[in-house]
Amino acid sequence: MDVKTIGVIGAGTMGRGIAYAAALGGYRTILEDVMPEMLAKATGWIAQAFDEGAKRGKLTPEEAAAAVKRVATASSVEDACREADFLIEAVPEEMELKLELYTLFDKFAKPNAVLASNTSSLSISEMAEMTFRPELCVGMHFFNPVPKMRLIEIVRAAKTSDKTIAACREVGTRMGKEVVVVKESPGFITSRVNALIGNEAFAMLEAGLASAEDIDKAVKLGLNHPMGPFEMVDLVGLDVRLRILEYLHETLGEKYRPNELLKKLVAEGRLGRKTGRGVYEYGQEGRDKS
Ligand SMILES: NC(=O)c1ccc[n+]([C@@H]2O[C@H](COP(=O)([O-])OP(=O)(O)OC[C@H]3O[C@@H](n4cnc5c(N)ncnc54)[C@H](O)[C@@H]3O)[C@@H](O)[C@H]2O)c1
């Protein structure tokens, strides 16, 4: 599959990062969003990210300028589809929206274009059913912030072809990422492992076995994780983690039952860094105390 142009639909947190990675990988990149102001913000953000990359010596100023030039915007999904050999959607996590988009992809995309979704949890197979080309439908799960995070989980849905997986591997690698392939299943690899580690840490804290600081320290220094489970959940959001656990509990069973202390903190509005208080408290200078 000869991929020259990547279309990215949705220019929010993830879409703009994915467009940055695509342009960095040498692809002509077309970014589209229903909200023109999001598109303008995203192109500004991408230009600044390349500028900073050049300042840090990640690429030369000439390479940065060339990469910025590779990014164009489109004013409709139809226009983005016309040119793209590989489409990645990063619209909000609502199935209705994704299904509408896959219907448009099927109608307007080139016959051999890969139709990828950046969904964190929704069924790619269900999206693929909206099209007459389910073999080209696949998950490309990027991580936030995209420029810094090295992994992409490639999600193989029920009818995804080997050729599509190979195209995703190539695109991911050219974007400078490491890739893994996982069969479609709740939480893929990363959210599933992470949810269990986080839940276990809450169970230990609830039982009074150790302080939050010591649990984080043990996991960082003893297991070589870059962040402790409480530092991580405060960053992700306790509400987001609770929703993931509820979903995994519903779909995969008892071992994912959300911990009661986590539920209590969410009910109290202690959602993490974004509310100034999660497991830890955050002042203007960062973390104060637990
Ligand atoms: N934020 C994360 O940490 C993260 C990580 C991995 C995966 N994801 C997944 O990525 C996807 C996007 O998440 P996000 O955090 O970037 O969301 P976001 O809300 O920051 O951005 C979504 C963008 O999509 C646009 N949009 C809405 N409907 C559209 C449509 N019909 N056509 C075109 N654009 C449309 C919105 O205007 C917005 O700019 C979700 O599926 C999410 O689950 C998010």
Q: Is the pLDDT of residue 44 over 90?
A: yes
Q: Is the pLDDT of residue 27 over 60?
A: yes
Share of residues in the chain with pLDDT > 90 (%):
93
What pLDDT does 121 receive? 85
Q: What's the chain's average pLDDT?
A: 95
Residue extent(s) of CATH 3.40.50.720 domains in the chain: 5-183
The top-level CATH class assigned to 190-275 is mainly alpha
What pLDDT does 289 receive? 53
How many whole angstroms from 36 Cα to the centroid of ligand 1?
A: 14
Q: Is the pLDDT of residue 58 over 60?
A: yes
Q: Is the pLDDT of residue 268 over 80?
A: yes
How many whole angstroms from 172 Cα to the centroid of ligand 1?
A: 19
Q: Is the pLDDT of residue 98 over 70?
A: yes
Ligand 1 pocket member 92 (CB < 6 A): yes
What pLDDT does 211 receive? 98
Widest CA span in the chain: 59
What pLDDT does 271 receive? 96
Query: What pLDDT band is residue 108 in, cutting at 50, 70 and 90?
Result: very high
Classify domain 5-183 at the CATH superfamily level: NAD(P)-binding Rossmann-like Domain (3.40.50.720)
Buried b (16+ CB within 10 A) or exposed e, 172-195: bebbebebebbebebbbeebbebb
How many whole angstroms from 91 Cα to the centroid of ligand 1?
A: 4
| Ligand 1 mutation pick, 8, 9, 14, 33, max ligand atoms within 8 A of CB | 14
Where helices occur in the chain by DSSP H, the ranges are 13-24, 36-55, 61-69, 77-83, 95-108, 124-128, 162-174, 190-206, 212-223, 229-236, 238-252, 260-267
Among 130, 133, 131, 175, CA closest to 154: 175
Backbone phi and psi for residue 76, each to the nearest 5 degrees, phi listed first: -155, 160
Share of residues in the chain with pLDDT > 70 (%):
98
**What pLDDT digit, counting tens, does each position of 152-165 carry?**
999 999 999 999 99
d(CA 101, CA 249): 29
Ligand 1 pocket member 38 (CB < 6 A): yes
How many whole angstroms from 142 Cα to the centroid of ligand 1?
A: 12
What pLDDT does 85 receive? 98
What pLDDT does 113 receive? 98
d(CA 37, CA 177): 29
What pLDDT does 286 receive? 64
Q: Is the pLDDT of residue 283 over 90?
A: no
Q: Is the pLDDT of residue 238 over 80?
A: yes
**What pLDDT digit, counting tens, does each position of 110-139 carry?**
999 999 999 988 899 999 999 999 999 999
Residue extent(s) of CATH 1.10.1040.10 domains in the chain: 190-275
